[in-house]
Every structure is written in C-alpha cells, then in structure tokens.
Amino acid sequence: MTPSRIHVPRLYVAYILALLLPLFACSKQQKPAGTSSSSAGTSSGSSAQTTSSQHSASFTEDFEKASKGNYSAGEEKLNSGTWSFEDALVGSEQNDQKNGSKALRLRNSGAVRMMFDVEGAKSVSLSHAVYGKDKPVTWELRASTDGGASWKAVGSPMKSSGTTLQATTIAVDSKKNIRFEIRKTDGTPNRLNIDDFSVQSDGHGSNNGSGASASQPANPQSTNSVPSSNSSSGDVSHPPTNSSNSIHLTMGIAADGDPSDDYILERKQYALSYNKDKHVPNWVSSNLNASYFGDVPRHQGQFMPDMTLPNNLYRVRHNDYTGSGYDRGHMVRSEERTATLEDNESTFFTTNLLPQTHDMNAGPWLRLEEECQHLSQRENKELYIICGGIYAKNFPTIGKGKVAVPEKCFKIVVVLNRGQGLKDVNANTRVIAVMMPNITGIIHEGWQQYVTTVDDIERATGYDFLNALPTDVQKAIESRVGK
C-alpha cells in the first residue's frame, strides 16, 4: 500500500524557504591575500554562491570547511554539497600544497567526486600540485551526465609535477545535468593536491547542493535512476523488467519468483542483478568477443563501492573483504575489459564481486575464464556469459555480517560465432554450464569436472536463465550437460 502524502504547493514552500534561509546563512572565511580562486570569469564573491540556497550552477569549493582526515572511503557534506572520497582526504599539513589551510589529497588511484548535479557547465577550474617532495603524478577530470552511473574523461590527461599550485581551466560545454570527479590515474603512492575547484556555467542552472541527483530515486522500486534505457550511451539502474537494449542482456533478464531482491544495473561493460539483502550480485551478465581485449593495464587501486546503487542499499567497501580469508572474486574478469581504462575500472566495482576461496578463484574458475578468453580471442567466438552464486539456507557472511558467501558459484556460457546473437541460437548451440564448490583444495582441478546443465543451475538458484530464447530452444540446450 502506498503511504498517503500531503501535497504542499511548491510556491508556498519556496516562499517559506526564502524567509528562513537568511537566518541560517553564514559568511565564508576568506583566503589569505594572493590566494584567490583560480576560476576564470568568477567574481570574488562567487564562493558564497555554493550553498543550496543559490540558483546558479556556478560554484567554487575551497574545502576549507572539510574535516575528512583519513583515506578510508566515505562521504562528507561541504559548502557546495556532498562529496564522495575514495583513497583521498582533506590535508592540512605543511607538505600539502594549498590556498588557505586545506586542500584535497589523493593517493594510489584515489578519487573525489560530487554527489550532486549542476545544470550545465561551461568549464571547470582548479589548482593542482604534488604533495611535499613526491614524484610527478597523473590524473584526469571526469564527468557524469547520468547521475553518477557512468563517467567519462573530460579534456586531456593531466600531469602534476611541481610543488606549487598551478591553476588550470578545462572546457566542458555541457548543458545537461552534470557532476564531476577528480581521479588519480597512475596508481602510485605519490600524492596529488587539488584546491579551489570551481564550476562555471551560463547562470541558468541550479545546484541542489544536497548530495543527491535529481535523477537518483529515493526508492529503487520507484523509477529508473538514469533517464536513458540504452546502455550503450550510459549506465542504467532499475527494478526488474522483461526487456532491455543492452547487448549484455541479449539472452534475457534472469528472473526468479521474488523481484524485490533484484535491482538491475546496466553498464556499458556488463549488467547485473544486485541483492539488497545479501549485498552481492544475484547474477552478472556480459557479452564477450575479441573487441573487449586491449592493452590497458589492470586497475591498481582498491575495489570501489558502487555509487550507482540508491542510497538505501548498502554499498560494499573494499575493506569488507579484508582479512576474511576470501578472494575478491571477479564475475566479469578484469582481463576481459582491457580496451579502455574506463572498461577495466568498471570491473573493480564491488557489485561485480563474490567472496571466493582462493583455490576456486585461482583454480577451476580461472581456467574457465581462460577458456572463454581463448574462445573469444583465438577462435573469434561471440560469447554470452551469466555467472553468480548459489547459497546455503544459513549462509556465512563476511564484512561484519554484511556480505553473503556463496556455497557454490555457477557460470553459463552461450558460444556463437562472432557477430551472432539471439536469433542464431538453436537446439545445437554449444552452451557451457558449471557449478563449482566454493571450497579449498581444488586449486589444481580443471573446470570440466564441474559441468552440469542449465536446468540444474536454475533449480539451485531459482532463476530462469536464457529466457529470451524460444521455449523449444531453451528446453533443448538447458537440459543437456554443457561442456
């Protein structure tokens, strides 16, 4: 039953806010002389327009009121809105290069991102330098126009090598709702300082400053969190549906009898169903062919909490696995997404992980991953892969009870020729199906001894897989042992 809601006219709310806001306004401490913001075309009072009471997308964040003093992942509300920190903090040491008393400090592959949108941006200005006597570092500015579901680099990769803050302005020219992220890209422990982050716009946008995008739902069952439904142009998150334009869901969106624990995330690189209670993917579905492989090195930073999940769903952290005795087991393998840096980093979201014993992860599971790589790269096959976990009734957990540990892991691989899709699947199509025990002592075993049928996997999980296929084809390929 939907709770009743009291309707309050928006103009009345705006009028009340206009009366109350001056009571709560506070003046911003000015920086020392000679350390004014580096933003181009921004007046000296622009930093006062960064609070949610202002109706301009332009703002400057100088991080002076921030207090985050450690590298652990977390969020903090600043003058401009809520920001997310990942292997980053706000530094105030003598070695921190800063205007005023504080600046951002990032290490490894750390990132700091806005958790709110502005309506359009002409450019971004900021100041950057290396921390103390650290060696040069590389980083880039990234932007998201889908509420933080996907990120793309803006401008050219940047390099910081000096110990004096250098001001830079990066053209954006976007009229869409947009948010930004600063990402350190070299993966080294050398540290980067960022200060005076400023967004310039044409003045017609609005900064809600609340840390929540207008496109992000408060309830995952209410609406799509991204306007687009085409995953080739951006990531999508939504409740279960019967169809999708994503190539990774060509064989169908697996479903069970309880859609309440399926929250669908569609990335450009793969798609998955997230379980709100177990805090793991129910399944991860992906397409694989030779085009997904390239020369991009493996991401060197920590695994990242998936910020595309709604705020009311737990976002698993890297440290939830630390000291558990289990590997952070990729569902979509890192090596299968090496065409671009963005592709590879997408495999390091914790929504792409299951707790796996090292013996399974580095043993038969790895050997099946290598078989998929051989088929797609060497034999020029088109693969459609679905994998996930199978759980005991009273399943163990890690991460202080937050993350469920599967009893077994399954994988289904539909093998076609390059360029083929749903219409090309027939009763004779090769399908690999395995269920592997998540135990120790199997590191030297091959994947072939764990072959089974898709029907057996469906009975074990409760999910109907490959449901986009005609019923007669499903019956034929799901009932035979897939090798």
The angle subtended at Cα 288 by Cα 285 and Cα 291, nearest 5°, is: 140
Range in 55-59, 373-377, 402-406, 449-453 with the lowest mean pLDDT: 55-59
Helix, strand, or coil (residue 115): coil
Say if strands 403-404 and 397-398 run parallel, antiparallel, or are unpaired: antiparallel
pLDDT tier, 238 (very low <50, low <70, confident <90, very high otherwise): low
> Residues 110-148: pLDDT tens digits?
999 999 999 888 889 899 999 999 999 999 999 999 999
Strands in 131-184 per DSSP E: 137-144, 152-160, 166-184
Query: Please, which pLDDT band fits residue 300 given cuts at 50, 70 and 90?
Result: confident
Q: Is 330 a catalytic residue?
A: yes
Domains of the chain: 37-200 (2.60.120.200), 236-478 (3.40.570.10)
DSSP string covering 281-308: EEEEEEEE-GGG--SPPPP-S--B--TT
* Pair type for strands 263-266 and 152-160: unpaired
pLDDT at 236: 52
| The pLDDT of residue 57 | 57
CB count within 10 Å of CB 362 equals 15
**For 189-210, what is the mean pLDDT?**
70
What is the reported pLDDT for 7? 42
**Residue 297 gets which letter from DSSP?**
P
For 54-82, the pLDDT digits (tens) are 334 578 899 998 999 999 999 999 989 99
pLDDT at residue 50, rounded to an integer: 32
Instruction: Say if residues 180 and 141 touch (Cβ distance below 8 Å).
Output: yes
Which residue among 238, 299, 330, 358 is the active-site one?
Answer: 330
Q: Is the pLDDT of residue 155 over 90?
A: no
Rounded CA gap, 67 and 75, in Å?
A: 11
What residues pair up with 84 in beta bridges, in sequence order?
A: 75, 113
Is the pLDDT assigned to residue 210 strictly greater than 60?
A: no
Looking at residues 203-216, what average pLDDT do you find?
33
The more confidently predicted of residues 357 and 23 is 357
Which residues, 6+ apart, have CB-to-CB distance to 308 below 8 Å?
147, 148, 149, 225, 235, 237, 265
| Tens digit of each residue's pLDDT (9 = 90 or more) over 321-335 | 999 999 999 999 999
pTM score, whole prediction: 0.57
pLDDT at 17: 47
- pLDDT number for residue 21: 43
Residues β-bridged to residue 451:
434
State the pLDDT at residue 99: 87
Write b or e for each residue in 343-354: b if 16 or more Cβ atoms lie within 10 A of its Cβ, otherwise e: bbbbbbbbbbbb
How much of the chain, in percent, has pLDDT values that exceed 90? 65
Q: What is the pLDDT of residues 434-460, one digit of tens each?
A: 999 999 999 999 999 999 999 999 999
Over the stretch 15-41, which tens digit does the pLDDT of each residue have?
A: 444 444 444 433 333 333 333 333 333
Query: Tens digits of per-residue pLDDT, 274-287?
Result: 999 999 999 999 99
pLDDT at 110: 94
Q: What is the pLDDT of residue 9?
A: 45
Over residues 96-115, mean pLDDT: 94
The answer to whether the Cα torsion of 87, 90, 94, 95 is positive or negative is positive
pLDDT tens, residue by residue, 242-275: 556 899 999 999 999 888 899 999 999 999 999 9
